[in-house]
Every structure is written in structure tokens, then in C-alpha cells.
Amino acid sequence: MESHIAIFPSPGMGHLIPLTELARRLLAHRQLLITFIIPTAVGAPIKPQNDILNAMSESITSIFLPPVSLNDIPEDSSLETRISLTLTRSLPALHNTLTELTHESTRKKPLALVVDLFGPPSFEVANELNIPAYIFCTVSAMSLVSIFQLPILDKMFTCEYRDLVEPVKLPGCVPVQGTDMAEPFQDKKNEAYKNMVEVAKMFGLSKGLLVNSFYELEPGAFKALEEGEWCKPDIYPVGPLIRSGLENRTGDGFECLKWLDNHPARSVLFVSFGSGGTLSQQQFNELAFGLEQSGQRFIWVIKSPHGNSNASYFSAQSNMDPFEFLPDGFLGRVKDRGLVVSLWAPQVEILSHGSTGGFLTHCGWNSILESIVNGVPMIAWPLFAEQKMNAVLLTDSLIVAYRVKVDEKGLVGRDEIDKSVRSLIKGEDGRKMRSKMSELKDFGTKALSQDGSSSRSLLSVAQKWVE
């Protein structure tokens, strides 16, 4: 009977996808049974998650917990608060499910419970059932350092981080301006901040931390995590784990790839703000005019504008046609060099295509890793969560991205967009970034090779579970 691992992801595709890739990699190293236990909120779409899980190996099964209600919390509650409450309100159902799995005759009791960043409150359930708990970090090692440092920083600074004159110095990392600290850190009176401080204290209670990054990408941060007295658990760099490219290259989405076939090498900018990112109508217009003004080729994945930058994270997509929000005549003016697609495009395939020369991204960690694996330099346009900190890593430490500048109205203007696109696709800075990205791509490939640093790290933790 194979060894059994349970995985309890936070809500959101950005958490589920890297955990499914972790599951695939584990199966490549060891014969295991893996059960995904999925928390959901009432009204949240589950089909995208179901589609991904159903396409996986027979050794991977999934259980959706009963949806919990969030109707009693204010509508303006932060994204992080909604994620945390979905998880904590699902803990009784998690307890019941793990108990049932423990007593099933068809499989062994789970040897480990793997959770992600918001999952430490589930440690109490794991401890009660005597199941070792591990954290899989769906963020950079730099962001992980900031989480471990948060309780220390909370005592060190009484003011808001955004009001600090000097940058925050995180062990092993480039300095970070207070305004670039993760969004949940930015309001100490908010419930999301208080919850993050408490969850950060729980990180030390895990048996180990698997990090979706690789040592060669963030050596300073990993060294700080391994040597710092403030980080008790063992650290396992296991990345870069990214979603697999789809084999069925048909349908509307793959028209993008046919379109790319007709353009020169490294000449096209891919523009996407991920599954959760949205722009205001005014910012949507500025981006359209900036892309038009640049004269460069592009593929732009559009969603209906919204005043909240993470509007599409938890809810289903708007029923409104996003093409209706484009400036009059825009499509006609860019038809020979621009392709605009609605809601979704095959991102991994686009980034791996030879015609793609740059990626304008919201700086979600999954998207960054996908860009690194394919050697594509970036334009950093962070929106929410820890994305500003990721932008700092890309621009100040790795030097593989140009970060757009926001004006006094909170907008990225068309001239700024024009300048950054030209610089990345045609300029000398873009050429240097592309060369550096090529090096990082090679390091990432080596890390995942049979005897690479990440493969050895994952094998060691899998061996620990089995033994």
C-alpha cells in the first residue's frame, strides 16, 4: 500500500496550481497516494479547480469540503481576510475528512499534511491527529523571509511601514521601501495585518518549509533562512515548479500561437495581469493607448475593468464583454501588430514561443517563475498581495525587469508604458535583461535536473515522509 500525503491549499488558482505541480514532482520521485482537500466559499467558482484536479494522475484524488459562508463579513474586507476565513471556517470539515481518511481501509493514514501560506491554523488539527504538518511556500524566498521577520518588525516599528524614511532591511535580501512591503502589511489596524502577524508566528511550528524557488535564484535569502535563529524549520528549495503546457493545441486560445508563428523572434510583448488582476477603466485606456503608441507587437489578455485591482480573484468573471471597454477604433489601428484576447490565453505556451520577447506582468510569483523558466525579461506592474516586493526582487536584485512608474494620480501613463515597452523589446536594457534571464533559465533547468539542487531537496523531504 503506497504512502499517503494530504494537501490542503488556500482558495485561489495561484495557490492550487503550484501545489498540483508539487504533487506531480513528488510522484516522479516516489510512489505515493496524494489527496487534495479543497476549502471553498459559498458562491466561489469551483469548476476551474475541478478541471485541473480531474486531469491529474490516478494517484491524485480530491475532496471538496462543504462551502463556508462569508456573508457576515463586510463587503470591503481584504482578499487576505477572505482567504483566511475560508480556511479557518473549513477546519472542522478538514478534521472530519482527515479522520475518515485515517480509518479508510484502502489507504494508509496521511504521513504528512502539506498546506500553503495561509494554512498554519490547520496545524492544530494535524497535531490532534498526529500528522506532521509542512508548509509549501507559493511565494519567493525573499517574501518568506519577510513573513518570518514580521513579528520582529511589528515590535521594531510602531508607525506604518509606508511611513518609514529608511528602507526595511531583510536578512539576505535587497532593501525594501516600506511602501513595497506586502499589501497585508500596510495597515496595522486592519484585521488582515493582525492575522498575518499571528500566522507568521505559527510558521516556526511546521516540520519543514518547501519553497517554490531555487537556491541559485535567491542564494542570499535561502542562506538567511537556513542560518537565522528566527527560522526553526528545515528549508527545502524545490522550484521552479510551474504549470505544464497543455497538450491539446486546439481551440480559440491557441489561435494566439498561430498568430505568434507569423512574427519575428523575440519581437512580441505578452501582456497579462493573471487570473486575479484587474485594471480601472482609466488605467485600461492608458494601457491601450501606450501599447498603440509604442509601435511594438503585442498579445494582450483583457478583462472587464474594475475599481478593485484583485476583483476577479474570488469571484467568477464579469458577464460584460471586455472588448466593449476598449477605446474607439483601437482594434483597427493595431490589427497588423496587436492581438487582443478575452479573459484567457495559454500563458506557458506563449512565454515559451520564440516570437515572445517580453512579458508585462502583475508580478504574481507563478507568472515570474514561468517567465524565468522560459528566459523572458519582464515589465513589472505589481497590483496587490506581495507583488510589489516581487517587483523589487526582479528590478533591484535580479535586474531582469523594468518597473513601471506610477504618477501622482495612481496611474501608469501611456508615455510611461510606451517608453518601457520600447526599452524592453528594442533597447539595450532589454538586451541585457534578456541575457541575464537566459542565465537564470539555465540555472532553473539545472536545479530541476536529476541531480540538481531542487530535485535533491524534494527527494530528501519525500524520503523523510516515507520513512
Residues 278 and 308: beta-carbon distance below 8 Å:
yes
What residues contact 267, with CB distance under 8 A and at least 6 apart? Answer: 296, 297, 355, 357, 425
Angle, vertex CA 47, rays to CA 44 and CA 50, nearest 5:
115
As annotated, the active-site residues are: 15, 116
Q: Identify the helix (H) or strand (E) that includes residue 85.
A: helix 79-88
- CA 187 vs CA 197, 224, 388: distances in Å: 12, 27, 15
Residues 245 and 349: beta-carbon distance below 8 Å:
yes
- Grid cell for residue 432: 541585457
- Grid cell for residue 358: 517580453
- Grid cell for residue 37: 482537500
- Phi then psi for residue 105, to 5 deg, are -85, -15
Give the whole-angstrom CA distance, residue 238 versus residue 387: 21
Count other Cβ atoms within 10 Å, centred on residue 332: 7
Residues 221 and 145: beta-carbon distance below 8 Å:
yes
